[in-house]
Structure 1
Amino acid sequence: MGKMKVCIIGAGIAGLCSARHALCNGLEPTVYEQSDDIGGTWQYTDEIGINKYGIEVHSSMYKNLRTNLPKEVMGFPDFPIPEEEASYISSENMMAFLSKYTEKFEIRKHIQFLHHVIRIRPRNNKWEVIVKDLCNDIIKTEMFEYVMVCNGHYHTPSYPNLKGIEDFKGKAIHSHDYRSPDSFKDENVLVIGAGPSGMDLAHSVSLVAKTVILSHHLSETPKTKFNSNLIQKPDVLKVTENEAVFTDNTSIPISVILYCTGYKYSFPFLSSDCGIYIEENCIKPLYKHVLNIHYPSMAFIGIPFYVCASQMMDLQARFAMAFFCNKKPIPSQKEMLADTEEEMQKRWKMGYKKHQAHMMGPIQYEYYTDLANTAGVKNIDIVMAKLHDVSSGRFLDDLVNFRNDIFRLVDETTFIKIN
C-alpha cells in the first residue's frame, strides 16, 4: 500500500509548512501553486487584475515593503529567520528565508507550479481534485486522502458600501492593486481604513500627493505624527462627483479613493458538497478554526488573523497531522460543533462581531495553547505573543519610526528591545 496523499493548495507560508509536516509524518504531499514561485503574499509582481493565463493575480505585495512585525516572531518554531541587525526586514529577505526553508526540507520537488485548482469535492471517502496545468492548458483530475487549504486571505478585496460611489468621477482602487505611490502624485487622495495597510499606504502616498485624507473609526486616534498634508477624518457618509462627505458633516475635495478595507475569505474551488460556507466573513463549520467539521480530512491553515502567522501556521499544520495520522482520535461531529459554539459564545460576550470570528489579537496565546493541548503537540513559545502585542502597539504609536526598533529574544518567555 502506497503513502497516503495530501493535496495542499498554495505554496505560501501555510502551504510550505504543511508540506514539510506532511513529509515528516510519512504522507505524500502535492502542492498546487498557480504562480511560478513560492511565497504566496510575499511574492512581488507588477501585474494586477488578470494575468496572461486568465487567472486573478493573487499577490497584494507592493514595492519597498518591510514587514510590520519583527522577524523574531515571523520565523517557524524550529527554523527562525537568521539573526541580522534589523528586526523589520524587506519582502525580498522574507522570500529568501522561505526559499531556504523550502530547500532545507526538500519541498520544492513536491510543488506543481502554474497549476490552478478548479474544483475540490468529496468522493468515495477521498477528495477529487480537478486542476488546470496553465502552461500546457491541460485539465487533470487527481484523488487524495487529505486536503489542506492554504490559499491565504489577502487576495479577494472587501469593499464598503459607499453611498454615491456611482457618481464619483475620480479613480478608485483597492490596496490589493497598489504597487507604488507614483500614480498618486499631486492628487487629493481619500484613504479608507486605518489597519496596517491603511496606515502604511496613507503615509507613503502623503510623500507625493497634494493631500491625503485618512478616514477611519478607530476608538483612539493613532499617536503617529503624520506629514502635514495628511488629515484624519471619521467615516465617510457619502461621496459626490469630486468630494467626500464625512459623518462630522464636513466635506473635502478628492480625486482618488484608495480602499484599505481588508479582504474576504474566498474558496471558489470548494464545491458545495464540502459543507463549508462563509457568513459575514465567518467560515463555518470549522473545529478550532482548522478542521472541516463535516469532513475532518480537510484542514484550513492560516485562517485566524492578528496572530504570529508563521508560528501559528506551523502549529496548525502539526495539529492537523495529529488527527490525519491517527495520533489523536477525531472528536465526534457533535462534540466539534459544541466546542465551536462554546468558543463563539465566549467571543460574542467579549464584544466581538461576527466578522471578527477568526480574530485573535489579545487571545492569541490562549488559542495556541488550546491547539497544542488538544492535539498533544508542542506549543509556541509565549515570548512570540508578548513581542507581537508590543510591536503591534508601536505600529500605531509611531508609524514613521517603529521599524527602526531592534528586538532580541532572550528565552522562551522574554525579549529585549536593544535600541
Structure 2
Amino acid sequence: MSPAAAMKTVPSMSTTMQPELARPITRICVVGAGLSGLCTLRHFTADPAYKVTAYEQQDRVGGLWNYPEGCENYKNLQDDTSPYFCRMHRNLKTNATKFFMTFAGEPRMTEEMDMFPTPQMVGKYLKTYAEYHGLYNHIKMRHVVKSISPLGDNPQNPKEKQRWKVVVFDLATSSLNEEIFDVVIICNGQYRKLHTPDIPTLENFGGTVLHSGEYRTRQPFQNQNVLLIGSGQSANDLTCDLRVVVNKMLVVRRRQTDTFDDTARFPNILRISEPLHFTTNGVILDDGQVMPLDTVILCTGYDLDFPFLTPECRVKFNRGRVWPLYHHMINCDYPTMAFIGCILKAIPVLPVVEDQVRYYKVLLDGGFSLPSTEEMKAECEQDYQSRMKKGMSDHKAHVMRPFDLRLLPYLDQLAKEADLIPWTLVMRKIAITCDNSNTVEPCDARNYHFDIINGENFTMKRIQESS
C-alpha cells in the first residue's frame, strides 16, 4: 500500500454535499503563505464560492521551511521581512517521517525526500505544491498585515453579516492599503518571535548568548564549552548536532530522567541543575567548581505573536496560548476568524493542518453549525483548566501530547463533526512511534526507515548509526 493511500483517501473538498443553489461569493483573507496558508489556499481557491487573497511578508512561500543561502552571515536578524530571515539550522531533519511532511492526495515527491526530510526538501515540496495548484495567483508577496478589525460589533445578529477591515502595508511601494473581507484565516506560524526568559545572573556572562532560533551551523562552536538551556525538541536537536564538535556541553533540563544522563554514550555532556550562577567567563557548578564557558544557547521556545489583531477582535494571546478559540481554532466571539496551525508539538504537522482547514471549510460551506458562543467558551475553559490541573504550564494550552490522549482524539472529534475521513490505524501508530522515539532517543530517532504494509501495519528498519 502506498503512503498516500495509507494516510487516508480524501476528496478534494469534503464529504459534505455542496448546495445546488448559487451562493454569494465569500471573500477570504489569509495571513501568511507558509504551510498552513498554502493548505488553506489550496482548499478554498478550488471552490468558486470563495475569493481568496493571501498576504505574505516574505518574497517566497513556505514560511518556516526555508533556509536562505547566506543566512549564516546575518546573526541576530529579527526582521522577519528580510530575505535572510531564518529559524532553521543547516543540519536539521524533521522529527516526523516524510509521510507526515506532505499533504494528502497530492504528488508526494517521496522519491526526492529522505525518510526524515531536511527543511530544504520540505520547502521545495511546498513551492511545488503552490505551483501545482496555481496558488501564486492568489498570493500578494511582500505585503505585511498591519491591522485586522471587525466591522460592526454585533457578531450574534444573524441579520448582520460580519465583515473584516484588513490594513496591509506593501513593502514594494511603501503604501498602506485597506481591504474588506468576509472571513479572516490566520496562518502566520508559531516560530517567529523568540522567547527569551529572564535568567538571573546571565547578565554577568561575557561570552556569546544566542537563542536556538539563531543557530545555523555547528562549525563556529568547534572545541568550545557550551551551555544549553532547555529540554524541548530544539534542545534535543542542538545537543545531538553539537556534541560531536564541542569540547564540553553542559545541559540544563527539567526532566527527572534523561537520555543524555548516560555518560557512557555521551561522555562530553554534563547535566547541571538550576538555579544557575554565571560568572564573567563561566558558570558555577553544584560542587562550587567554576566551569569555563564560551557560549550559552537558549532553547526556550517561541512566543505566539499576532501584532495585527486589534482589541475589537476579542482574542487574547500570550507566550503559548490564544483564547478563546473553539477547538483551538475558531474565534468564539467571531467565528468568521480562524487560526490554523496554532496547536503545538504536533509532529504530523501537515496532515493536522489539513484536517483543520477541511473542518473550517465544511463549516463555512454550511455543513454543520457551531454551538452557542457560551458553549464554545465553556469548552475552551474546560480544556484549559484540565491542563492546569495536570500541572501543565500556561504556555502549553495548545500542546497536543501525548498523541494518543490529546492529538488523535482531537482529530477524531474534527472528523466526526465535519464528516471527514479519520486517520488510518497505521498512520496513528507511526505518529506515536515517531513522537516516543524523539523523546527517548533524540539522537537516534531519525536513523530508521519506515515501510507501510497496509492500513494497520508498518515496519521500521535501522538504516545507519547515529553520529
What TM-score bracket applies, with the shorter chain setting the length?
over 0.9
From the superposition, tell whether residues 144 and 320 of structure 1 become closer, same or farther in structure 2 (CA, over 3 Å). Answer: same
Superposed CA deviations along residues 24-43 of structure 1, whole A, max 9, x for unmatched, are: 34311111111111111111
Residues 88 and 403 of structure 1 are in contact (CA less than 8 Å); yes or no, is this contact kept in structure 2?
Answer: yes
Which residue number corresponds to residue 36 of structure 2?
Answer: 14
> By how many angstroms is 1:87 displaced?
1.1
Distance in 2 (alpha carbons) for counterparts of 1:90 and 1:4: 37
Residue of 153, 158, 183 corresponding to 1:146: 183
Paired residues for 1:1-400 under 5 Å:
3-25=25-47, 26-45=49-68, 46=71, 47-50=74-77, 59-79=86-106, 81-84=108-111, 86-124=114-152, 125-222=162-259, 227-245=266-284, 251-279=290-318, 281-307=320-346, 308-362=348-402, 363-400=406-443
- Structure 2 unaligned spans of 5+: 1-22, 153-161, 463-467
Superposed CA deviations along residues 362-389 of structure 1, whole A, max 9, x for unmatched, are: 2210110111222232333343332122
Superposed CA deviations along residues 104-153 of structure 1, whole A, max 9, x for unmatched, are: 22211111111111111111431111111112212111111111111110
Residues 98 and 115 of structure 2 are in contact (CA less than 8 Å); yes or no, is this contact kept in structure 1?
Answer: yes
Residues 59 and 154 of structure 1 are in contact (CA less than 8 Å); yes or no, is this contact kept in structure 2?
Answer: no
Distance in 2 (alpha carbons) for counterparts of 1:199 and 1:68: 11
> By how many angstroms is 1:77 displaced?
2.7
- SS of alignment partner, residue 148 of structure 2: strand
Residues 15 and 150 of structure 1 are in contact (CA less than 8 Å); yes or no, is this contact kept in structure 2?
Answer: yes
From the superposition, tell whether residues 280 and 66 of structure 1 become closer, same or farther in structure 2 (CA, over 3 Å). Answer: closer
What letter corresponds to residue 283 of structure 2 in structure 1? Answer: A
Distance in 2 (alpha carbons) for counterparts of 1:56 and 1:277: 30
Distance in 2 (alpha carbons) for counterparts of 1:380 and 1:354: 29
Distance in 2 (alpha carbons) for counterparts of 1:391 and 1:249: 40
> By how many angstroms is 1:246 displaced?
5.4
What letter corresponds to residue 185 of structure 1 in structure 2? Answer: Q
Distance in 2 (alpha carbons) for counterparts of 1:74 and 1:212: 31
Larger radius of gyration: 2
Residues 10 and 149 of structure 1 are in contact (CA less than 8 Å); yes or no, is this contact kept in structure 2?
Answer: yes
- SS of alignment partner, residue 180 of structure 2: strand
Distance in 2 (alpha carbons) for counterparts of 1:262 and 1:153: 10
Residues 79 and 85 of structure 2 are in contact (CA less than 8 Å); yes or no, is this contact kept in structure 1?
Answer: no
What letter corresponds to residue 272 of structure 1 in structure 2? Answer: P
Distance in 1 (alpha carbons) for counterparts of 2:294 and 2:189: 32
What is the TM-score normalised by the length of structure 1?
Answer: 0.92
From the superposition, tell whether residues 76 and 54 of structure 1 become closer, same or farther in structure 2 (CA, over 3 Å). Answer: closer
Distance in 1 (alpha carbons) for counterparts of 2:409 and 2:287: 39
- Shifted more, 191-200 versus 371-380: the winner is 371-380
> By how many angstroms is 1:227 displaced?
4.7
What letter corresponds to residue 119 of structure 1 in structure 2? Answer: S
- Sequence identity of aligned pairs in percent? 29
Distance in 2 (alpha carbons) for counterparts of 1:247 and 1:380: 48
Distance in 1 (alpha carbons) for counterparts of 2:401 and 2:452: 20
From the superposition, tell whether residues 93 and 355 of structure 1 become closer, same or farther in structure 2 (CA, over 3 Å). Answer: same
From the superposition, tell whether residues 131 and 370 of structure 1 become closer, same or farther in structure 2 (CA, over 3 Å). Answer: same
Distance in 1 (alpha carbons) for counterparts of 2:285 and 2:304: 29
From the superposition, tell whether residues 139 and 404 of structure 1 become closer, same or farther in structure 2 (CA, over 3 Å). Answer: same
Which residue number corresponds to residue 7 of structure 2?
Answer: none
From the superposition, tell whether residues 264 and 249 of structure 1 become closer, same or farther in structure 2 (CA, over 3 Å). Answer: farther
From the superposition, tell whether residues 229 and 119 of structure 1 become closer, same or farther in structure 2 (CA, over 3 Å). Answer: same
- SS of alignment partner, residue 277 of structure 2: strand
Residues 285 and 292 of structure 1 are in contact (CA less than 8 Å); yes or no, is this contact kept in structure 2?
Answer: yes
Distance in 1 (alpha carbons) for counterparts of 2:181 and 2:455: 38
Residues 162 and 238 of structure 1 are in contact (CA less than 8 Å); yes or no, is this contact kept in structure 2?
Answer: no
Superposed CA deviations along residues 159-181 of structure 1, whole A, max 9, x for unmatched, are: 22211122221111101111112
Residues 304 and 318 of structure 2 are in contact (CA less than 8 Å); yes or no, is this contact kept in structure 1?
Answer: no
From the superposition, tell whether residues 213 and 366 of structure 1 become closer, same or farther in structure 2 (CA, over 3 Å). Answer: same
Superposed CA deviations along residues 317-336 of structure 1, whole A, max 9, x for unmatched, are: 11111222222223211111
Q: How many residues align?
A: 419
